[in-house]
Amino acid sequence: MKVNLSTPILASDITPESVFQERRAVLAALGLAGSAAVMPAQASTPSGAELKAARNATYTVPEAVTRWEDVTSYNNFYEFGTDKSDPAAHSASLHTTPWSVSVTGEAERLGTLTLEDILKPHALEERTYRLRCVEAWSMVIPWVGFPLKDLVARFKPTSKAKYVSFTTLNDPKQMPGQRDRVLSWPYSEALTMAEAMHPLTLMAVGLYGRVLPNQNGAPLRLVVPWKYGFKSIKSIVGIHFTERMPHTTWNDANPGEYGFYANVNPSVDHPRWSQKTERRIGGGLFAPRVPTLPFNGYAAEVASLYAGLDLRRYY
């Protein structure tokens, strides 16, 4: 399928044949070169189509990864329901092929790209990140994807682009949770350009070396490991560059509990519970709580992004 961009594709943008052939293998694994893989709602071991990705040893954590069955059965994805088990139970209705993403706003190259177009130039890698939710539970997950900064650079944002926002698919037929007005649909999230261009920020297409299950945000989601989980928007269909701070779903729904920045900060409590400790999912109801780390343990890499910013006020 052709890429619809507002400026012509340059010779330097053309994918070399060797890279193209490798990308074809990845796309086949993602179900884009044939029928999509069917992922069971819960599985005792990783299953689904395998992804070819090099392990990036720079990005890891000295902890055991969370079990596959916990990562794929305990999710926040309100488009399929508000209970943690709802996404796994109801997300089979989501069709991830074909898939396209629109790019709008303050950038030189705008238009609509298929998922194939997005993936072809990027080498996939596996990174193990912590993901912490505002409800004070956390997971350690080996994600598969590529740096968001590499994708953003392809669109050539202008000097006016101070923020980049993302939008989730809005289709109540496929996402039954959208039939309820528990949130304002479509779901949206945003980052500053500095956050989007940070090498930690990942555009993910898989986990545990497998294609993302629907309940985990297939086929394309964001992973921002130093922020609370609601910033890692799932099933992305829109990217927008803007000069002004954009509206985001949870910040609009309850700004007293969900700030725009949403950096993990154990010294700033949620109005209804403490953020000083967290519980690793999979350890049972009586699993010991562990101390929450500033910026979710990534302070050395990202704290400089917020120099001079009052993180109690701009939470």
Q: pLDDT digits over 62-96, tens only?
A: 999 999 999 999 999 999 999 999 999 999 999 99
d(CA 21, CA 30): 14
Which pLDDT does position 48 carry in this prediction? Answer: 81
The overall pTM is greater than 0.85: yes
Which pLDDT does position 287 carry in this prediction? Answer: 80
Which pLDDT does position 283 carry in this prediction? Answer: 80
Which pLDDT does position 116 carry in this prediction? Answer: 96
Q: Which of 234, 232, 1 is nearest to 115 (CA)?
A: 1
Q: Is 314 exposed, middle or buried (0-12, 13-18, 19+ CB in 10 A)?
A: exposed
Q: Which of 220, 216, 166, 217 is nearest to 27 (CA)?
A: 220
- Per the document, the length of the chain is 315
d(CA 291, CA 287): 13
C-beta of residue 218 within 8 angstroms of C-beta of residue 94: yes
Cis peptide before 219 (omega within 30 of 0): yes
Q: Which of 265, 167, 172 is nearest to 222 (CA)?
A: 167
Which pLDDT does position 43 carry in this prediction? Answer: 41
Beta bridge partners of 282: none
Q: Quickly name the fold that domain 4-306 has.
A: Sulfite Oxidase; Chain A, domain 2 (3.90.420)
d(CA 291, CA 262): 18
Residue ranges of the chain with pLDDT lower than 50? 1-25, 33-43
pLDDT in tens, 181-231: 999 999 999 999 999 999 999 999 999 999 999 999 999 999 999 999 999
Which pLDDT does position 9 carry in this prediction? Answer: 35
Write the CA distances from 139 to 29, 128, 186, integer angstroms. 25, 10, 26
